[in-house]
């Protein structure tokens, strides 16, 4: 599991990089499936719905990036709209846990990123073709 986080943690800095978002999305999808102990059949049903949810979740974050309170409200509305689909697919208990496991993934990813930054505080960061030192 650490390998998943170590490969995905640098991607948090790439908010506008779609390839980075796809990698994070795929790692998050895999993480949630493992944490919920999905069968292969459940995972096949879950993935397309989760990927659609993730895309809308990212759009919500981008759209409301300057208004944290409104962003939280829109994310909750989005989660409520997907909760029924996840429950129908995975059952009441696991369907309700999808968003908690998503939060766990994000927390662990941020924690690993902080640890990496603390162990190597000055490293070049590439943005838009130029190098920025932290």
Domain extents in the chain = 2-122
Whether the CB-CB separation of 82 and 126 falls below 8 Å is answered with no
| pLDDT tens digits in sequence order for the chain, 134 residues long | 444 444 443 444 444 456 567 888 999 999 999 999 999 999 999 999 999 999 999 999 899 999 999 999 999 999 999 999 999 999 999 999 999 999 999 999 999 888 888 887 665 555 555 555 44
pTM of the model: 0.73
Report the SS3 class of residue 82.
Answer: helix
Q: Which residues of 39-57 are buried (b: 16+ CB within 10 A; e: fewer)?
A: eeebbebbbebbeebbeeb
């Amino acid at each position: 599991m650490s390998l998943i986080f170590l490969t995905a943690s640098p991607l948090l800095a790439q908010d506008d990089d779609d390839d980075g978002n796809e990698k994070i999305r795929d790692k998050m999808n895999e993480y949630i499936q493992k944490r919920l102990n999905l069968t292969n059949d459940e995972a096949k049903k879950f993935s397309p719905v989760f990927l659609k949810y993730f895309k809308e979740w990212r759009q919500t974050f981008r759209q409301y990036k300057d208004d944290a309170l409104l962003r939280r409200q829109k994310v909750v509305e989005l989660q409520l709209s997907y909760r029924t689909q996840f429950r129908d697919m995975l059952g009441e208990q696991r369907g309700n846990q999808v968003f908690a496991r998503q939060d766990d993934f994000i927390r662990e990813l941020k924690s690993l990123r902080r640890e990496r930054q603390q162990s190597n505080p000055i490293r070049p960061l590439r943005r838009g073709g130029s190098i920025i030192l932290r």
